Amino acid sequence: MEIKIQNNGVEEFFYLNKVAKAANGSVLYKKGKAVILATITTDENASIEGDFLPLTVQYIEKSYANGKFPGGYIKREGKPNEFEILTSRLIDRSIRPLFPKNYRYPVQISIFVLSVDRDLDLQVLALNATSVALLTSNLPIDKTINALRIGKIDNEFIINPTLEQLSKSNIDLYISGENNNIFMIEFKSKEGQLDENELLYAVELAQNHINTTSNLYLDTFKRYIKPHININIQDSNLNESIFTYIENNYSKILESCFTNMAKSENNAILNGIIKEIAINNDFNQVEVEIAISKFKRNFIRNKILNEEKRLDGRGLNDIRDISIETNLLPSAHGSALFTRGQTQVLAVCTIGSDSDMQSYEILTSKTQQKSNFLFHYNFPSFSTGEAYPIGSVNRRELGHGNLAKKALESSLRNENRAVRIVAEVLESNGSSSMASVCGGSLSLCAAGIEAEFLVAGIAMGLIKDGDKYKILTDIMGIEDYDGDMDFKVAGNRSGITALQMDIKINDINIYILRDALLRAKEARLSILDKMEIAKENIILNDNTPVSQVFKIPINKIPSIIGQGGKNIKDIIERFCISIDINKENGEVRISGESKENVQKAKDFILSSVYICLDSFKVGDRFSGKIKRITDFGIFVEIKDGIDGLLHNSKLIKNNINIRDFKEGDRINVEIAAINNDKIELIIS
């Protein structure tokens, strides 16, 4: 069944019951040349115990969608790349609020990109296709979510820019929601920052568009919704008698436990109490866990909403104590240890050359891309006092690292070297990602990089009951878990460089968002005060790389590189530096740990390029050193690195065999001619 709709003047095609008919819901979605398959499946016989929605989202790009072979040795799609994982997270975080509160059945959502359109945003299309597949499935969902992206070019906001327009935009704002409700926001500034008022304007612009599209989708597809499967979603698994027993007999013990948990994300003490109650009273352990989780949620939310008190004694707007150390790793290029309360991150910066840049592929392009800025976030088990092995990077780590990268990118607009920051989370109790932003920004300074500005990050929370709400600054792990919003904001003194908002309820309005942004600004400025003091006290390590960038004529590049790279290798070894040459524009970058050697290498290259031949004339004689022997002649260094060519024809004329010489030999030569900065030699 084909359904065509007009959405903001653009045609969208939805095919229902055409493919993947065994799934609970499926949509083949087409817009322009893009074709996306979204499928929904659930296991209605496998309800899990506990307070958790077992949802798995997999966004998968097929190489054939753009007429490509998969990259790498094995020509088959393998594990998901970073973009696929981040897109899966975007969709997951957007659609979770759609599910009924007590839905506990495993759900698998698979999104296949089957064909691409190089003008269209796959992340927006993927979420919209998924939304319609969910609505028309037989799962108990009666709302439609949709997404859009907003760019800004020449001070004008653009809704759903093409990929070419997005590349020219100085912001990237991705928003998803339903009707007037915003569920998820991701934002980054590509150039500088965006102030709070402009961001709010863009969000309101997006909200109007989302409302229109939500109503359009619902009105169009509600007649095609399958009869909902008959499953129990009303039972919250809460045993009221167990809850009452715990409330009457364990309140003080649990409240003391929760206060202790405010200092750590480790649940070991609470788990011990759960087991004790279950064993001593012959209760089902899962039912005890659910009852205590309910008691904890009520206790924390009531304390904040009605008493305006937090478990660690802070006021609602207070930031935990901050301490900063820089360059505590003497052999690293730059390092910063940032501690905020019980969250601690060691950020380490490494500076490299062009060869250290990250190569990657995107489906919409057939050419390989390169990134000069990398941010890697690691969250080992010991950071929360847990005992499980450290494995490969997971989705959460990729997501947090990507957010921190977005936050810092605009402060490095003029940095062309390869830069890598690794954030090692050493202790965690709330927003280690924002601590990584703060530590990462300082690690750049500690490595001697002239960033355009410092960037600080803060995590905001929300507790809401009806019209009553409280905004929390610098949330702890326990407040994140039992709160209604996780709102991470990073920026400088002038505005926001990156933002990520996830909502757990359906009634966040623009006024709450404005309140949270202004509170976040106050906190950000306070943190920047401390970071600026730390920056002033930075002492660079001895091995901090220095670099110089200059240009040479493009036609001189081959002589600098030499045959088989011999000349450039000689320069690198002689001065202990690294050299990167852009063959398209003649830009040369020299990097090394010694400022003196970098300068000497630069002077040597420039003297080789711009040879001053005024002091040489035809007939001058020299005892030169043979630098290189080729099939057509011998290059002889006659003075101060200046070479001349003794052509093979001149040797033959004098009955001399080129094989009689070897590199390093000395030979008597005479200047026969000087043409176009080239010296021709003869045997003297």
Model confidence band, residue 611 (pLDDT cutoffs 50, 70, 90): low
Task: State which of 171, 197, 224 marks the end of a domain.
Answer: 224
At 445-490, the pLDDT tens digits run 999 998 999 999 999 999 999 889 999 999 998 898 889 999 999 9
Mean pLDDT over the full length of the chain: 90
Would you say residue 507 has pLDDT above 80? no
Residues 663 and 528 in one domain: no
Residue 677: CATH number of its domain: 2.40.50.140
Residue 312 lies in a domain: no
- For the record, the structure tokens of 19 come out as 């493919």
Residue 315 lies in a domain: no
The proportion of the chain whose per-residue pLDDT surpasses 70, expressed as a percent, equals 97
Residue 151 lies in a domain: yes
pLDDT at position 603, please?
86
Task: State which of 565, 581, 609 marks the end of a domain.
Answer: 609
Question: What would the mean pLDDT of 309-331 be, rounded to a whole number?
Answer: 94
> What's the whole-model pTM score?
0.84
pLDDT at position 152, please?
94
Would you say residue 94 has pLDDT above 70? yes
Domain housing 462: 322-536
Question: What would the mean pLDDT of 430-451 be, rounded to a whole number?
Answer: 95
Count of structural domains within the chain: 5
Length, in residues, of the chain = 684
Q: How far is CA 196 from the centre of its chain?
A: 22
Between 215 and 72, residue with greater pLDDT: 215
Residues with Cβ within 8 Å of 658's Cβ and at least 6 positions away in sequence, in order, are: 629, 633, 634, 648, 651
pLDDT at position 331, please?
94
Would you say residue 513 has pLDDT above 70? yes
Residue 65: CATH number of its domain: 3.30.230.70
Residues 580 and 472 in one domain: no
Residues 604 and 502 in one domain: no
Residue 580: CATH number of its domain: 3.30.1370.10
Choose among 307, 302, 314, 375: nearest CA to 342.
314
Residue 572 lies in a domain: yes
At 40-88, the pLDDT tens digits run 999 988 877 767 789 999 999 999 999 999 887 888 888 899 999 999 9
Question: What would the mean pLDDT of 85-97 be, rounded to a whole number?
Answer: 94
pLDDT at position 235, please?
56
Residue 314 lies in a domain: no
pLDDT at position 231, please?
79
- For the record, the structure tokens of 106 come out as 């495993």
Contact by Cβ (8 Å): 150, 165:
no
At 365-381, the pLDDT tens digits run 877 888 999 999 999 99
* SS3 state at 274: helix
Residues with Cβ within 8 Å of 622's Cβ and at least 6 positions away in sequence, in order, are: 636, 638, 639, 668, 669, 670
Contact by Cβ (8 Å): 108, 25:
no
Residues 135 and 183 in one domain: yes
Residue 541 lies in a domain: no
Other CB atoms within 10 Å distance of the CB of residue 237: 17
Contact by Cβ (8 Å): 411, 421:
no
Residues with Cβ within 8 Å of 243's Cβ and at least 6 positions away in sequence, in order, are: 291, 294, 295
pLDDT at position 325, please?
97
Residues 634 and 602 in one domain: no
Would you say residue 676 has pLDDT above 80? no
**Distance between CA 500 and CA 127 in Å, rounded?**
17
pLDDT at position 130, please?
97
R_g of the chain computed on alpha carbons: 32
DSSP single-letter state for residue 640: T
Q: Helix 240-249 vs helix 251-261: angle between axes, to the nearest 10 degrees?
A: 80
Of 204-218, 331-345, 510-524, 554-568, least confident by mean pLDDT is: 554-568
Task: State which of 258, 274, 307 marks the end of a domain.
Answer: 307
pLDDT at position 4, please?
93
Residues 499 and 356 in one domain: yes
Residues 88 and 119 in one domain: yes
pLDDT at position 614, please?
66
Cβ burial of 479 (10 Å; 0-12, 13-18, 19+) is buried
Would you say residue 236 has pLDDT above 70? no
Residues 591 and 667 in one domain: no
Residue 313 lies in a domain: no
Residues 332 and 292 in one domain: no
Residues 8 and 120 in one domain: yes
Residues 440 and 505 in one domain: yes
At 246-288, the pLDDT tens digits run 999 999 999 888 887 777 767 778 888 999 899 989 898 888 9
pLDDT at position 642, please?
76
Residue 233 lies in a domain: no
Residues 164 and 300 in one domain: no
At 571-581, the pLDDT tens digits run 998 888 889 88
Would you say residue 641 has pLDDT above 70? no
Beta strands in 552-665 (DSSP E): 578-581, 587-592, 621-629, 633-639, 642-647
